[in-house]
């Protein structure tokens, strides 16, 4: 079962690189949050040279501290599982969220340690036309010295006065949804428990492939 999509992995990880441990004002807009993140990213990484040098244990710990507060993993999992989410019991749903979050954390960490030196331009936040509760921030990312930019769309929603990302897209295509086909195939073959087992297996393989 193919969970890891190269384009999705790269773009998701680019956002992760821009998320240091800083405090945000509750009334900050998503685009201002990202701008603040970018301004502090170089300083945060410079203060932790071991992570920059490839300390995976430290990177995993940092990743969990960075991502968890700012991502809505429940909604991300719901998007990825699609129509089958309603078939899962509450216990299965909780396990799916836990394992999908773990999968994404391993993915983010692996790319965090390999992608550096990007130039970023943040565009003003705008309301999504078909969803008044969603704010979209467009981020243009390119390697230093190159002219071609990747355009990433970050979807934010406000939960308890905090902005959280629940999806990332490129050219209007949801990257979280890119998991939906493989998840659906696994569910059709082995049910919800089969998907959970496959996620657990994939996470175990990722951990063993690059031990902490």
Task: Give pLDDT, residue 22.
Answer: 40
Query: Which residue from 118, 117, 109 is spatially nearest to 51, judged by alpha carbons?
Result: 109
Question: Has residue 94 got a pLDDT over 80?
Answer: yes
Question: Has residue 7 got a pLDDT over 60?
Answer: no
Question: Has residue 48 got a pLDDT over 60?
Answer: yes
CB contact set of 203 (below 8 Å; sequence gap of 6+): 99, 102, 103, 106
Question: Has residue 188 got a pLDDT over 70?
Answer: yes
Q: Kindly state the percentage of the chain with pLDDT values over 90.
A: 27
Q: Are 111 and 9 in contact (CB under 8 A)?
A: yes
Domains of the chain, earliest start first: 6-115+177-209 (1.10.10.640)
Q: Enter the tokens of residue 169.
A: 């897209």
Q: Are 162 and 72 in contact (CB under 8 A)?
A: no
Task: Give pLDDT, residue 163.
Answer: 87
Instruction: Report CA torsion sign: 31, 43, 18, 48.
Output: negative
Q: Kindly state the percentage of the chain with pLDDT values over 70.
A: 64
Burial of 47 (0-12, 13-18, 19+ CB in 10 A): exposed
Q: Enter the tokens of residue 25.
A: 């004002």
For the segment 199-203, the average pLDDT, to the nearest whole number, is: 94
Confidence of residue 75 (pLDDT cuts 50, 70, 90): very high
- Residues 95-153: tens digit of each pLDDT: 999 999 988 887 766 655 555 567 778 888 888 766 767 899 888 877 777 778 778 88
* 81 vs 36, residue with greater confidence: 81
Q: Are 29 and 127 in contact (CB under 8 A)?
A: no
Lowest mean pLDDT among 9-18, 100-109, 121-130, 198-207: 9-18
Q: Are 190 and 92 in contact (CB under 8 A)?
A: no
For the segment 40-58, the average pLDDT, to the nearest whole number, is: 62
* 85 vs 212, residue with greater confidence: 85
Q: Are 80 and 97 in contact (CB under 8 A)?
A: no
What single DSSP character describes residue 175? S
Q: Measure the CA–CA gap between 154 and 174, rounded to whole angstroms.
A: 10
Cα radius of gyration rounded to whole Å, the chain: 17
């Amino acid at each position: 079962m193919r969970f890891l999509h190269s384009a999705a992995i790269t773009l998701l990880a680019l956002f992760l690189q821009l998320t240091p441990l800083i405090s945000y004002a509750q009334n900050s807009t998503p685009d201002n949050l990202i701008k603040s993140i970018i301004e502090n990213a170089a300083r945060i990484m410079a203060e932790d040279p071991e992570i920059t040098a490839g300390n995976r244990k430290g990177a995993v710990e940092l990743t969990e501290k960075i991502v968890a507060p700012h991502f809505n993993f429940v909604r991300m999992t719901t998007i990825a599982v699609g129509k089958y989410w309603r078939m899962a019991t509450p216990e299965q749903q909780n396990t799916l969220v836990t394992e999908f979050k773990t999968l994404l954390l391993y993915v983010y960490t692996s790319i965090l340690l390999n992608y550096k030196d990007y130039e970023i331009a943040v565009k003003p936040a705008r309301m999504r036309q078909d969803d008044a509760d969603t704010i979209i921030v467009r981020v243009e990312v390119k390697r230093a010295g190159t002219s071609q930019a990747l355009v990433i769309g970050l979807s934010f929603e406000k939960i308890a006065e905090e902005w959280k990302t629940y999806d990332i897209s490129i050219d209007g295509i949801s990257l979280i949804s890119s998991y939906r086909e493989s998840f659906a195939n696994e569910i059709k073959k082995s049910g919800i428990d089969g998907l959970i087992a496959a996620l657990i297996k994939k996470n175990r393989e990722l951990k063993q492939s690059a031990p902490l």
